A and B are shown apart, each in its own frame.
Chain A
Amino acid sequence: MSEKEVKNLEEIFEQRIARDEKIEPKDWMPEKYRKTHIRQISQHAHSEIVGMLPEGNWITRAPSLRRKVALLAKVQDEAGHGLYLYSACETLGVSRDELYEQLHSGKAKYSSIFNYPTITWADIGAIGWLVDGAAIINQVPLCSTSYGPYARAMIRVCKEESFHQRQGFEIMMTLAKGTPEQKAMAQDALNRWWWPSLMMLGPTDAESVHTAQSMKWKLKRKTNDELRQQFIDQTVPQAELIGLTIPDEDLKWNEEKGGYDFGEIDWDEFWQVVKGHGPCNKERLSARVNAWEKGEWVRDAAMAYAKKQEDKKLREAI
């Protein structure tokens, strides 16, 4: 294809997206669109399965049977969501194993928030309330993103995730209403998870390299800073409702902008965690690698068995 022809195709392609048409796997697409989508969808998938680990840490210790089954179902959902997203990514011509390889080698990124430890039961509440809350804000607009398989996966994810945040908030609410010890546990968790949750919505607009392109392809509908503002504005009243204090001295209502002003985010910490220096980066990655490597003989066995059965069927047919 000549350069001019490609340019022409690209123009038609961008017009289709501008008209809100969906792009499907076999449609022509610019290489950059494919690559950007592989990167974003796989990061998203990796975040789901790495995200299973901090919460999985508390399944065996959940304080009641009701909490145990809810948490188990939630973490299982995350496996499901990882699976939907890997499948969406595979329609772009990359296999799940290649994507795993990128994760395991440290080449691919996942959401940094999962590199923080879950050290008390209240952390499970805080994750559901804050981390899933921030994730939902990020994800809902993706239900109408331009790439069909991604949009469809996100519709399913959002539908299933609606219980996750409620599950977390209910845990926090119960703790906040409980004994002084429980309330302190909840406040401590909020203190530790608040700032990482704000960081989770991505670097400030000034620092964000992908925003303009992502807006055009509907991978983003609002900028990171807008999303962050939305998250803060909806979360602060929830904290007040259950009598917990947001750990930010500069937080105050700004009548003029109709939203909260808030303190400086420690972006240095953010970049340190992104670079792999968070408290649990090593543990999370090695848990994933471990599961994969220890599972190899199982996956191989299933393939060998399937092949034997296939051969047997063939022999019987002859």
Chain B
Amino acid sequence: MKKENLKQYIYGIADNVLILGQRLSELCGHGPSLETDIACTNIALDLLGQTRSYYQYVAQLFDEDKTEDDIAFLRTERQYKNVLLVEQPNTHFGYVIVRQFFFDVFHLQLLQQLQNSTDETLSAIAKKAIKEVSYHKRFSSDWIKRLGDGTEESHQKVQEAVNDLWRFTDELFHMTEDDIATLESGVGIDVRVLKDKYYQQVKEILQEATLDIPETSWFQKGGKQGIHSEHMGYLLSDLQYMQRTYPDMKW
């Protein structure tokens, strides 16, 4: 494993939580009730907290003069390695919940493996994050059930989101070159082995929520290689606005 592999590997994990945190923070103040607003913000705060731990680690490992903010705000679009799923927009609350649910199930499995990493820092970050993400998964699963088995309208809306976002789930289990290199050295984990259990868990909850499992065989990919959807540029222009407009300043 080269150092660059490790860096890219951490980006792959950290960018997911940064971008999803950014998406969730768009919602603050606009949720369906005060209580759900507060809950979604808590999830965003957890994810952004995790982001900082990963980036601080990268900064410490590689570039003495780079900070977590340089990593978060000053890369070009192709350098972000998050999966396509997390950058999908908040079309409506159904999309927010389905995106969260599809990610949470994966995220928890990933962290449960990552806590056994030979890299002590990654293992420690994972151990702490497992508690947070277990709660996220409970929250999003509960809401999948409420929306799926709620009213006719909610059922139809959340089904639409499931159908639409399903095509982004397969990418979660792709291995990049960096994934393979870090796996061989015991630092990274093999996401391929998580796949069967993932779909089994997801399907169980969807069924309980009286939702249909989409029958697509075509899946989208690219995020892990930095080839993102068209949504990503807009997300980044918000995220990077200050750092790009006012370079080299302290905030």
Interface residues of A (CB under 8 A from B): 49, 52-53, 56, 59-69, 72-73, 75-76, 79-80, 82-83, 86, 121, 171, 174-175, 178-179, 181-182, 287, 290-292, 294-306, 308
Contacts and interface: CB of A to CB of B under 8 A. Distances in A.
Given A298-B32, A298-B147, A299-B32, A76 B246 contact: no
A287 B26 CA distance: 13
A291 B28 contact: no
Interface stretch (B34-42, B79-87, B123-131, B175-183): B34-42
Given A287-B29, A295-B32, A76 B45 contact: yes
Contact of A305 (B34, B72, B93, B149): B149
A60 B34 contact: no
Task: Determine the main DSSP class of A at the interface with B.
Answer: helix
B29 A56 contact: yes
17 contacts: A52-B29, A56-B29, A63-B251, A64-B69, A65-B55, A75-B28, A75-B29, A76-B42, A83-B34, A121-B242, A181-B249, A291-B30, A297-B157, A298-B33, A304-B151, A305-B150, A308-B149
B64 interface: no
B153 A305 contact: no
Nearest to A81: B34
A301 B36 CA distance: 14
A72 B157 CA distance: 28
B29 A64 contact: no
Chain A CB within 10 Å — which of B45, B69, B251 has the most? B251
A215 to B, nearest CB: 31
B146 interface: yes
Nearest to A50: B29
Contacts of B48: 65, 68-69, 72
Contacts of A75: 28-29, 41
A65 B52 contact: yes
A61 to B, nearest CB: 5
Contacts of B157: 297
Contacts of A62: 242
Contacts of B150: 300-305
B36 A298 contact: yes
B29 A291 contact: yes
A69 B44 CA distance: 9
Given A63-B242, A181-B246, A69 B34 contact: no
A65 B48 CA distance: 8
A77 to B, nearest CB: 9
A82 B31 CA distance: 14
A76 B68 contact: no
B32 A79 contact: no
A116 to B, nearest CB: 16
Interface string B151-187: 1011001000000000000000000000000000000
Nearest to A121: B242
A67 B42 CA distance: 16
Contacts of B41: 72-73, 75-76, 79
Given A72-B44, A83-B38, 18 more contacts: A56-B28, A61-B238, A61-B242, A63-B243, A64-B69, A65-B52, A65-B69, A69-B52, A72-B48, A79-B37, A178-B250, A291-B32, A294-B93, A295-B93, A300-B153, A300-B154, A302-B150, A305-B147
Interface residues of B, number: 47
Chain B CB within 10 Å — which of A181, A297, A301 has the most? A301
B51 interface: yes
Contacts, number: 142
Interface string B72-109: 11000000000000000000110000000000000000
Contacts of B69: 63-66
Contacts of B243: 63
A65 B147 contact: no
A80 B38 contact: yes
Contacts of B145: 305
Interface in B204-251: 238-239, 241-243, 246, 249-251
Contacts of A182: 246, 249
B22 interface: yes
A297 B152 CA distance: 10
B29 A295 contact: no
Contact of B151 (A61, A68, A300): A300
Chain B CB within 10 Å — which of A69, A82, A178 has the most? A69
Nearest to B69: A64
Contacts of A73: 41, 45
Nearest to A96: B34
Interface string B50-69: 01100100000000000011
B16 to A, nearest CB: 15
A64 B49 CA distance: 13
A112 B249 CA distance: 33
Contact of B251 (A59, A174, A294, A303): A174
Contacts of A290: 30
B242 A297 contact: no
A238 to B, nearest CB: 20
Nearest to A175: B251
